[in-house]
């Protein structure tokens, strides 16, 4: 397997990152529970990605591999997702019948989020046409090297049980489970610096 290059993305590349993540999450249990129909998902997911991870672009912590095959949007210590934007996306796109459950999921997410300084990974994705080629590994190694250098923990919520072994391989440990009503399970995971 050839060596992959990871680099910081410029703000002008935000749409390319969003496109990769939209493809990567097309079969994600939580995303598709939230927006079960293709047209709902395709309309809402780009907005959700912007609200969750756009701060990475202004903080130099949006990373990609060659050809945008893989993208990771990390938020450094003290940088947060756009909570107002997240609320607006959910309010305008989620079926009313799911609103109490999505609200409960986000409330539970807040209880697990570390209060100490940490790097947060709201979104990482690899274009399905390039999965299994090492893009996720390259992205994770690149970001975690900085966490270790700065002696800062890393935190994420896994929305797909298939990804938990991948995260565990990099030292992330489950902290519990987040689930409300009919929602799939999210697994909050924390990695201490090495």
- Reported as a single tens digit per residue, the pLDDT across 63-73 is 999 999 999 99
What is the structure's pLDDT at 13?
97
Q: Spell out the domain ranges in the chain.
A: 6-191
Q: What is the pTM of this model?
A: 0.95
Residue 1 has pLDDT above 60, yes or no: no
| Residue-wise pLDDT tens digits, 136-160 | 999 999 999 999 999 999 999 999 9
pLDDT > 70 fraction of the chain, expressed in percent and rounded = 99
Q: What is the pLDDT of residues 165-192, one digit of tens each?
A: 999 999 999 999 999 999 999 999 999 9
Higher pLDDT, 2 or 155: 155
pLDDT score at 25: 98
Alpha-carbon distance of 191 to 41, in angstroms, equals: 30
pLDDT of amino acid 80: 94
Q: What average pLDDT does this structure show over 89-103? A: 95
Q: What does CATH list as the number for 6-191?
A: 3.40.630.30
């Amino acid at each position: 397997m050839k060596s992959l290059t990871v680099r910081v993305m410029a703000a002008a590349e935000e749409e390319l990152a969003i496109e990769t993540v939209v493809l990567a999450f097309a079969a994600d249990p939580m995303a598709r529970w939230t927006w079960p129909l293709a047209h709902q998902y395709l309309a809402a997911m780009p907005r959700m990605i912007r609200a969750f991870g756009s701060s990475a672009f202004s903080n130099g912590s949006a990373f990609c591999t060659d050809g945008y095959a893989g993208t990771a949007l990390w938020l450094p210590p003290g940088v947060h997702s756009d909570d107002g934007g997240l609320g607006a996306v959910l309010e305008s796109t989620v079926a009313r019948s799911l609103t109490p459950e999505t609200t409960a999921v986000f409330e539970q997410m807040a209880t697990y989020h570390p209060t100490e300084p940490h790097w947060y990974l709201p979104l990482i994705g690899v274009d399905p046409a390039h999965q299994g080629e090492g893009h996720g590994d390259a992205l994770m190694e690149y970001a975690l090297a900085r966490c270790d250098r700065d002696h800062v923990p890393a935190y994420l919520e896994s929305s797909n049980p298939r990804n938990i072994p991948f995260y565990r391989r990099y030292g992330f440990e489950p902290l519990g489970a987040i689930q409300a009503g009919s929602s799939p399970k999210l697994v909050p995971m924390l990695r201490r610096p090495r």
